[in-house]
Amino acid sequence: MKYQLTLFSLLILTFFNCNNDDYIAVLEPTSNYIEGEELLTGALGVNSTSANAFGFEIDGLSFQQLATFASGNSLFNQTWVSSPASTTGRDGLGPTFNARACATCHFKDGRGFPLINGTNSNGFLMRISLDGQDANGDAIPVPGYGLQLQDLANNGIQYETKINVNYQIINGTYADGSEYQLQKPIYTFQEEQFGSLAGVNTSPRVAQQTIGLGLISALPDIEIIKFEDINDSDNDGISGRANFVYNYETNTTALGKYGWKANAPSLKQQIAGAFHGDMGLTTSIFSEQNCPSPQQDCFDAPNGGTPEVTDSQLDKVIFYQAHLAVPNRRNYLDEDVQQGRMLFSELNCIGCHAINQTTGTDAESEFLENITIKPYSDFLLHDMGDDLADNRNDFNANGNEWRTQPLWGIGLIETVNNHTNLLHDGRARNIEEAILWHGGEAETIKQNFKNLSAQKRQQLIDFVNSL
């Protein structure tokens, strides 16, 4: 049954305003509609389809909390400068770095770009390591470079290397005879300043959108572990497992929740790690300058204080990131979208991209407590196959394993960030290509997708785009 506009709907359309810049119609439900399915975060969601869709705060914050949110937003967007500087509240950048602001990688709180040769890496970085693990289970740094390559540096300081990418074209065919084309990135290093990088383990990464992070933080461990099926006891081919990582604030092992490999246990460590690795800014968690030996000029450069990002500043950024709202679904009453939702379950995409987890009481604020969410992620590690492997271990995660990416907001990335590139390195140019890159535990699901008719494939893509 197609949805219809009613007279009541038309009246509502005239007067109903969402976030000052969006208007929506109220439509009659189709026979397949599930009550409330469009509310990915319950009452905390926002109805926005604008270029600022990822930048709204959740509803209900007090005047003081709104002020903290605004301060965190300002810190997130501000450009940091090298020391010494008259603007002491935002100096300490580098000496080597990938970005000058959080918003450089997460523009409008959204997703970064894949590497484009000859440009600064706005949202792209390269993790590196040697084989093995240190005493904390973390990766082994590469002498002269550490765990992440910095392609930018302050005046008088040597950047570490430059990274280039070329693409291998892979052609494929659906069961109905229609063709598709994928592009596989191949990375090379140029101008290696501190020794050859040949043979080191590498992992390209693109920055993710930052909505809903406070709700993920508030998930009790059991809400993630409940999806584990390490030995695939139900024989569905899916055997996700949790990553247990080192918490550098508490010096304990904890469940990993954040990052492409679920290698950060808390929102605080995730943000502090980005300040340190991406911008060369110290915090109370990561207090040493990011200057691996023999980078003596880097080590001798003036700093912006100890730490360069104060605890007060860090707490404000954490509050800001924790309270960014998730946009509600769009077009959810469209019949093709409804058919796509059912296909999503029939193909068992829902086996990894899970819903209906409930937050606990250990949250950044009371507003994030006891909320049932639909992130379309189980936050577990899954073997995604050899084609997506980076061959770099990250705590318990091996080279083939990646954390299930939450799908909320995925259909708005183009609106917010002017591109549709997906996956950990941005190789997929759209949702269709992202599906076709799935392998490993998702190989059967991918093959079943390829066997669908063109109409049904598009219905599934339409559903994902509605998230």
For residue 436, give the amino acid letter. L
How far is 406 from 397, CA to CA, in rounded Å? 18
Instruction: Enter the DSSP assignment of 174.
Output: -
Instruction: Enter the DSSP assignment of 365.
Output: S
Q: What is the pLDDT, as a whole number, of residue 46? A: 98
Helix (H, G, I), strand (E, B) or coil at 335: helix
Q: Where are the alpha helices (H) located in 220-379, listed in sequence order?
A: 222-225, 267-279, 296-300, 311-322, 335-346
How far is 418 from 167, CA to CA, in rounded Å? 21
What are the phi and psi torsion angles at 345 (to 5°)?
-80, -40
- Tens-level pLDDT at each residue, the chain (467 residues): 334 433 333 333 333 344 444 444 445 556 799 999 999 999 999 999 999 999 999 999 999 999 999 999 999 999 999 999 888 789 999 999 999 999 999 999 999 999 999 887 789 999 999 999 999 999 999 999 999 999 999 999 999 999 999 999 999 999 999 999 999 999 999 999 999 999 999 999 999 999 999 999 999 999 999 999 999 999 999 999 999 999 999 999 999 999 999 999 999 999 999 999 999 999 999 999 999 989 999 999 999 999 999 999 999 999 999 999 999 999 999 999 999 999 999 999 999 999 999 999 999 999 999 999 999 999 999 999 999 999 899 999 999 999 999 999 999 999 999 999 999 999 999 999 999 999 999 999 999 999 999 999 999 999 999 99
How far is 156 from 141, CA to CA, in rounded Å? 24
Q: What is the pLDDT, as a whole number, of residue 87? A: 81
Q: Assign residue 230 a region: left if phi > 0, alpha if psi is -120 to 50, beta otherwise?
A: alpha
Q: What is the pLDDT, as a whole number, of residue 188? A: 97
Name the nearest CA neighbour of 278 among 213, 208, 217, 207. Answer: 207
Q: What is the pLDDT, as a whole number, of residue 407? A: 98
CB 209 within 8 A of CB 110: yes
Q: What is the pLDDT, as a whole number, of residue 3? A: 40
Q: What is the pLDDT, as a whole number, of residue 31? A: 74
Q: What is the pLDDT, as a whole number, of residue 30? A: 60
Q: Using alpha carbons, list the distances in angstroms from residue 162 to 101, 115, 149, 215, 298.
A: 20, 11, 9, 37, 17
- In a 13 Å sphere around the CA of 177, the CA atoms on its Cβ side amount to 0
Q: What is the pLDDT, as a whole number, of residue 8? A: 35
How far is 412 from 465, CA to CA, in rounded Å? 8
Is residue 375 reached through a cis peptide bond, with omega within 30 degrees of 0 on the bond before it? no
How far is 341 from 153, CA to CA, in rounded Å? 47
Name the nearest CA neighbour of 108 among 464, 424, 462, 414. Answer: 414
Name the nearest CA neighbour of 77 among 49, 51, 99. Answer: 99
How far is 48 from 42, CA to CA, in rounded Å? 15
Instruction: Enter the DSSP assignment of 246.
Output: E
Q: What is the pLDDT, as a whole number, of residue 86? A: 81
Q: What is the pLDDT, as a whole number, of residue 88? A: 78
- In the block, tokens 């584990």 appear at 228
How far is 262 from 386, CA to CA, in rounded Å? 19
- In the block, tokens 């099926």 appear at 229
CB 401 within 8 A of CB 384: yes
Q: What is the pLDDT, as a whole number, of residue 29? A: 59
